[in-house]
Chain A
Amino acid sequence: MNTVNFYFDGTKYNGYRGEPLAAALLRAGIVHFTDSINFQRPRGIVGIGVEESNAMVQFVSGAQEPTVPATMIELVEGLSVSSLAGVGNLPDEPETARYDKVHRHTDVLVVGAGIAGLTAARKHLLKGREVILMDDQPCPGGHYSHLGTVLPASFSEILTHKSLMYLPRTTVTGLYDQGFAVAIERRSDHLSAEINPNFARIRTWHIRASHIVLAPGAFQRPLVFANNDRPGILLSHAAATYVDRYQVRSFHRAVVATVDNQGYRDAVRLHKSSVQVVMILDSRSHASGKSVSEALACGIPVKMNCTVVDTAADTRGVLCSITAVDLLTKVTTKMDADLLAVSGGWTPTVHLGTFIGIKPTWSEPHAAFLIQRDSGYLSTVGMLAGDFGNGDGQSDDSPAIFFGPDLDDTQARFAFVDHQRDATLHELRRAVGAGLSSIEHIKRFTTIGTAHDQGKTSGTTTVGLMSQLVGNTADKNSKAMPIPAIGTLSFRPPYIPIPFVALAGRERGLLIDPIRTSSIHEWHVKAGAPMEDVGQWKRPWYFPLPGEEMPAALLRECAAARKGVAIMDASTLGKIDIQGPDAAQFLDRIYTNVFSTLKVGSCRYGLMCGADGMVFDDGVTTRLGHNHFLMTTTTGGAARVLAWLEEWLQTEWPELKVFCASVTEQIATIALVGPKSRELMGLLAPALDVSKEGFAFMESRESSVAGIPARVARISFSGELAFEINVPAWFGLHVWEQAMKLGQPFHIAPYGTETMHILRAEKGFIIVGQETDGTQTPADLDMEWIVSKKKDFIGKRSFLRDDVRRAGRHQLVGLLPEESAEVIPEGAYLVTTTNGKAITGNPLKPMKHIGYVTSSYFSAELGRSFALALVADGLNRMGEQVAIPLGNKIIPATICKSVFVDKENTRRDG
């Protein structure tokens, strides 16, 4: 074995590479490990695995992970940790290690590589199945490895079986229905060499198994007596393993307190490792079996009907003596000891089973909760299933159901049930005394079982003590509660604490969510456009000239669109190809307006509502053929609308012959906007008749544009003369560049989402999701003109609802601030007085709220600011003054119609 150096609380020690940090610290004489969280009582190492309730450390080296039990850390050169009193610290440094995730499907997942798990794995491998074997220890064998016993060849052989994937240092932290398990693999902390930064430190496994075998083994229970938390008091199996397997020589005189034969076996191991076992205190009246005979043969004194009731500490706070009590005579005896090895029975690890709703059952012969399953996709084996022997079902443990001796009130204050929470028997008594009889209430009242270990050692002890306490109180009405009636604590994933970063895996930084880009995106980036997030899309926000601020850029872009020519990438619009003999009828039902009358080669703006009659999406749909339409949706609504169409086609109207196909990314869409767009369009598409007479508003034409087969439509979202060019996305950038080149003489200006918003708001065009929040009917948006009276459509019946017809609904209106330079923040509230006069004076005074601003901009065209707002009964409030209180000031504004520019629609034809 290699000797390595490590640091604990800044002091250098050495130990053996790969052994548990806890073993090396105990060997170095660190019995007093840390102090407890509330009472600052000295505490030492108690256990040997994840059940450890005291010895928590924080990594100083490596990933600086907080709150890891010293029993679970493998020693490597240069390891540095500091002891923790309950609370760890998140490092200030950003996480640099790599964490990843793997999804794997398998025939069988075996949880636990002890003898039971290995036996199960072998059985399934022999049946030709693919097996994943996960175990939280560095090496297989479970108890065998604690005992230092060499694994029999029949087991070690299967570890290299081609159909087996054995993952050590891997903890299954969650189990879910249908054979889904989540596990955490610790992959690099045990490697001392320079760690490759490309190697994931922790891997999260998502396993889906046809069958799961739970073989998680068990934890040893402590006993509850006065001052049972002193350094030097260990679980007997842990103590014997540290002394025997890891040659810890820090203990010399031991007392063993036991309720089963495990204590005898551990006493023998201590004895054989030259620890003087002063006495075995056995709470039972008699004991027999191989383990007992062996201890007696070693000459270890045994006292029956006896247990430990109290302990004392030396000046360092470390155990120096114990007080034994005869359970029949109550006579006490003091004994010097620097090690108290406690065996309170075994608690099988029921956690994973309870995660999927299984209620463990109490077994008196085992003095334990068990899960016995062998059906469907789940089976349990080993100690969890009640096999406390070595896979042979033979065990001579015969444990007593005993959790500790009777204690008086003073003793109970120092009898710890949950070490990590510093929760005592006294608190448990108070909880029961207060009338609590549910384990869930007791848990929350006392905090028992709520620490990092989720009551791995304290859970069953609490249930046992509760069973004694309930029905034993002054309240005569309370009934005794047997252990099975109490049940176990509720456990929840994860089984052990896991760093959030391990769950995040690679989905951090830029990989956290997709960034969607159009085929022209690269050009926008090169042009220096800041981007706006629109759902997952990155869209250019505006295109500043060198040194130009945003307001100036917007004025310039808007002016180009209204007076010259401007160009926008509209590729992100959702596009759905709709075909079939019933396509027109289908659209009539989907949209509030009629589409069956639309001529081939024409376009129409449509509004769709949900079944509740509220506006859901909008866009322009073009009839490409008699049975063929191309629908456009809002950028953010594309997937939602396609799902909506499919839902109606598949579940409500399967008789309609209609097929839909998403073509959002198939088509790049470029808008040429402005009075000079016709001239530019003519240059781009010489074969296309772009004249007012030859190409009417809301018509669509097939043509070559910049040499590319394209569809051009006269659609306008600004009120200006505009052409929308649609080409296969491979050619989007080419056509854009050609338009920019040919547009130079016209001083063409590219514009982004902000200018698009201003231009449409000046015309009072809504944006679904900005002017709407799912509670607006078309009438609320002053768009009753688009609602057909002649046909049925989704949402129509909801228009008859009283709430939809009532007066006073919020309606879309325009707003002109009194101060023409003042741009009201979007979302600002509008208030008024009842007589229609705006409020002046103290803005903090409560005022009647009548609506809110949905869109607000400065308009180049109007030379002033303007806004759109949803206002109660707004359409009947034209000319009314309202006020917008903002902090300590009030902005007065006047309600007007929502169309600000070109109310007569004179510009759309150029």
Chain B
Amino acid sequence: MDKFNAFTLTSVRKSPLGGAKHGSPGIVALCEKPFVPSFNLRVKPGSLEFSAVADALGLPLPTIVGQSQQRTMGNEPPVNALCLGPDWWFILGEIDAIPLLEPVRAKAHFSIVDVSAQRTQIEIQGPCARKVLEHLWEQDLRETHFGIGSCTQGLMAKAPIVLWHLGQNRYNISVRSSFVRHLWEAMVDACVEYLG
């Protein structure tokens, strides 16, 4: 990206929902968090590449599907690794691992793909957040089964998403950009009874 004017780039880019917001945090609120850097990582756990990749990322990769790990360094925004499959992670946050890994790429077997624009992030929060999700999501959302830090994949309103439990009454939904308008409409609709 260094060849390009960062200002020009940020001034002309468009997120699929334009940073839309809806609802009220005291009940339930939705907002798009646009332009979150994200990466699709595939590497076999236990391989040499696995530790090289984890070292370059600077965060331990969780090896249990459905768990996440966070890296925080100083004032930098956190980086999170969400384990989506036995050899599959979804990384949310800016990383500098790709150039670091360039020397080993020729021989090693892993893939890190920039998918920042593939999905956008919708955050849902508020006391009624879980109730709203229960209208659209079939999986178990109870704390005992989907505690803070848990992540999972599935179809929400028939759109493929990654659901990630961020904190008390706070969830992040990573949705494929082409589906996001539809999902947003479905989520706004599901809020109706709670927002009045």
Q: Cβ of A730 and Cβ of B135 under 8 Å apart?
A: no
Q: Is B138 an interface residue (CB 8 A)?
A: yes
Do A728 and B3 contact each other (CB < 8 Å), given the known contacts A514-B182, A707-B8? Answer: no
Q: Which B positions have Cβ atoms within 8 angstroms of A?
A: 1, 3-5, 8-9, 12-16, 35, 40, 42-43, 87, 105-107, 109-111, 113-119, 131, 134-135, 137-142, 145, 157-159, 176-179, 181-183, 185-186, 189-190, 192-193, 196
Q: Is A731 an interface residue (CB 8 A)?
A: yes
Query: Which of B14, B87, B140, B183 contacts A734, CB < 8 Å?
Result: B14
Do A102 and B135 contact each other (CB < 8 Å), given the known contacts A511-B186, A659-B110? Answer: yes
Q: Cβ of A731 and Cβ of B177 under 8 Å apart?
A: no
B137 to chain A: which residues have CB within 8 Å?
Answer: 103
B192 to chain A: which residues have CB within 8 Å?
Answer: 98, 198
Return the 7 tightest CB-CB contacts between A and B, nearest first. Answer: A659-B42, A730-B13, A516-B178, A666-B118, A579-B111, A105-B140, A729-B117
Interface flags, A498-532, vs B, CB<8A=1, else 0: 00000000100011011111110000000000000
Complex Cα distance, B40 from A664, in Å, reads 13
Residue of A with least CB distance to B155: A514
Q: Is A662 an interface residue (CB 8 A)?
A: yes
Q: Cβ of B13 and Cβ of A659 under 8 Å apart?
A: no
B158 to chain A: which residues have CB within 8 Å?
Answer: 513-514
Q: Cβ of B5 and Cβ of A707 under 8 Å apart?
A: yes
Q: How far is the CB of B82 from chain A (nearest CB, A)?
A: 15
Q: Which of A657-671 contact B (CB under 8 A)?
A: 657, 659-667
Q: Cβ of A666 and Cβ of B114 under 8 Å apart?
A: yes
Complex Cα distance, B184 from A511, in Å, reads 10
Q: Is A704 an interface residue (CB 8 A)?
A: yes
A667 to chain B: which residues have CB within 8 Å?
Answer: 117
Do A731 and B12 contact each other (CB < 8 Å), given the known contacts A104-B134, A198-B192, A506-B190? Answer: yes
Complex Cα distance, B111 from A662, in Å, reads 12
Complex Cα distance, B177 from A301, in Å, reads 79
A657 to chain B: which residues have CB within 8 Å?
Answer: 109
Q: Is A577 an interface residue (CB 8 A)?
A: yes
Q: Which of A86-111 contact B (CB under 8 A)?
A: 98, 100-105
B107 to chain A: which residues have CB within 8 Å?
Answer: 581
Q: Is A200 an interface residue (CB 8 A)?
A: yes
Q: How far is the CB of B1 from chain A (nearest CB, A)?
A: 7
A659 to chain B: which residues have CB within 8 Å?
Answer: 42-43, 87, 109-111
Complex Cα distance, B193 from A196, in Å, reads 9
A211 to chain B: which residues have CB within 8 Å?
Answer: none
Residue of A with least CB distance to B141: A105
Complex Cα distance, B13 from A666, in Å, reads 13
Complex Cα distance, B177 from A518, in Å, reads 8
Residue of B with least CB distance to A100: B135
- Among B42, B116, B117, B134, which residue has the most Cβ atoms of chain A within 10 A? B117
B115 to chain A: which residues have CB within 8 Å?
Answer: 661, 663, 666
Q: Cβ of A665 and Cβ of B117 under 8 Å apart?
A: yes
Complex Cα distance, B111 from A730, in Å, reads 22
Query: Which of A577, A580, A627, A731 contacts B113, CB < 8 Å?
Result: A577
Q: Is A697 an interface residue (CB 8 A)?
A: no
Q: Is A184 an interface residue (CB 8 A)?
A: no
Interface flags, A185-209, vs B, CB<8A=1, else 0: 0000000000010111000001010
Interface flags, A56-99, vs B, CB<8A=1, else 0: 00000000000000000000000000000000000000000010
Complex Cα distance, B189 from A657, in Å, reads 44
Do A704 and B4 contact each other (CB < 8 Å), given the known contacts A506-B189, A626-B106? Answer: yes
Q: Cβ of A206 and Cβ of B1 under 8 Å apart?
A: no
A731 to chain B: which residues have CB within 8 Å?
Answer: 9, 12-14
Complex Cα distance, B132 from A100, in Å, reads 11
Q: Cβ of B178 and Cβ of A517 under 8 Å apart?
A: yes
Q: Is A551 an interface residue (CB 8 A)?
A: no
Residue of A with least CB distance to B34: A730
Q: Is A682 an interface residue (CB 8 A)?
A: no
Q: Is A148 an interface residue (CB 8 A)?
A: no
Q: Cβ of B9 and Cβ of A707 under 8 Å apart?
A: yes
Q: Cβ of B4 and Cβ of A709 under 8 Å apart?
A: yes
Q: Cβ of A665 and Cβ of B118 under 8 Å apart?
A: yes
Given A518-B178, A657-B109, 14 new contacts (CB under 8 A):
A104-B134, A105-B142, A511-B157, A511-B186, A516-B178, A537-B178, A579-B110, A627-B106, A659-B111, A661-B40, A666-B113, A666-B114, A707-B9, A730-B117
Query: Which of A103, A666, A707 contacts B12, CB < 8 Å?
Result: A707
Q: Cβ of B193 and Cβ of A580 under 8 Å apart?
A: no
Q: Cβ of A663 and Cβ of B119 under 8 Å apart?
A: no
Question: How many A-B residue contacts, CB cutoff 8 Å?
Answer: 143
Complex Cα distance, B118 from A587, in Å, reads 24
Do A730 and B119 contact each other (CB < 8 Å), given the known contacts A100-B193, A101-B135, A659-B110? Answer: no
A662 to chain B: which residues have CB within 8 Å?
Answer: 118
Complex Cα distance, B196 from A198, in Å, reads 7
A665 to chain B: which residues have CB within 8 Å?
Answer: 117-119, 176-178
A590 to chain B: which residues have CB within 8 Å?
Answer: none
- Among B1, B15, B111, B131, which residue has the most Cβ atoms of chain A within 10 A? B111
B4 to chain A: which residues have CB within 8 Å?
Answer: 704, 707-709
Query: Which of A199, A516, A572, A661 contacts B42, CB < 8 Å?
Result: A661
30 intermolecular pairs with C-beta atoms under 8 Å apart: A100-B135, A102-B134, A103-B137, A105-B141, A105-B142, A105-B145, A198-B192, A511-B185, A514-B159, A516-B182, A519-B177, A579-B42, A627-B105, A659-B110, A659-B111, A663-B115, A664-B178, A665-B118, A665-B119, A667-B117, A707-B4, A707-B5, A707-B8, A708-B4, A709-B3, A728-B13, A729-B16, A730-B15, A730-B116, A734-B12
Residue of B with least CB distance to A668: B117
B35 to chain A: which residues have CB within 8 Å?
Answer: 730
Q: Cβ of B189 and Cβ of A511 under 8 Å apart?
A: yes
Complex Cα distance, B118 from A200, in Å, reads 35
Q: Cβ of B113 and Cβ of A519 under 8 Å apart?
A: no
Q: How far is the CB of A106 from chain B (nearest CB, A)?
A: 8
Q: Is A761 an interface residue (CB 8 A)?
A: no
Q: Is A733 an interface residue (CB 8 A)?
A: yes
Complex Cα distance, B1 from A101, in Å, reads 46
Interface flags, A364-399, vs B, CB<8A=1, else 0: 000000000000000000000000000000000000
A200 to chain B: which residues have CB within 8 Å?
Answer: 193
Q: How far is the CB of A344 from chain B (nearest CB, A)?
A: 43
Q: Which of A8-60 contact B (CB under 8 A)?
A: none
Complex Cα distance, B4 from A663, in Å, reads 22
Query: Which of B105, B181, B196 contacts A517, CB < 8 Å?
Result: B181
Residue of B with least CB distance to A199: B193
Query: Which of A105, A208, A577, A664 contacts B111, CB < 8 Å?
Result: A577
Complex Cα distance, B87 from A707, in Å, reads 36
A572 to chain B: which residues have CB within 8 Å?
Answer: 178
Q: Which of A631-672 contact B (CB under 8 A)?
A: 657, 659-667
Q: How far is the CB of B152 from chain A (nearest CB, A)?
A: 13
A663 to chain B: which residues have CB within 8 Å?
Answer: 113, 115, 118
Query: Which of B111, B117, B178, B185 contacts A510, CB < 8 Å?
Result: B185
Interface flags, A764-789, vs B, CB<8A=1, else 0: 00000000000000000000000000
A580 to chain B: which residues have CB within 8 Å?
Answer: 109, 111
A733 to chain B: which residues have CB within 8 Å?
Answer: 14
Q: How far is the CB of A586 from chain B (nearest CB, A)?
A: 12
Residue of A with least CB distance to B191: A198
Q: How far is the CB of A635 from chain B (nearest CB, A)?
A: 11
B8 to chain A: which residues have CB within 8 Å?
Answer: 707
B182 to chain A: which residues have CB within 8 Å?
Answer: 510-511, 514-516
Residue of A with least CB distance to B35: A730
Q: How far is the CB of A671 from chain B (nearest CB, A)?
A: 18
- Among B12, B40, B176, B185, which residue has the most Cβ atoms of chain A within 10 A? B12
Q: How far is the CB of A577 from chain B (nearest CB, A)?
A: 5
B131 to chain A: which residues have CB within 8 Å?
Answer: 102
- Among A514, A515, A581, A733, which residue has the most Cβ atoms of chain B within 10 A? A514
Q: Cβ of B117 and Cβ of A666 under 8 Å apart?
A: yes
Residue of A with least CB distance to B182: A514
Residue of B with least CB distance to A625: B105
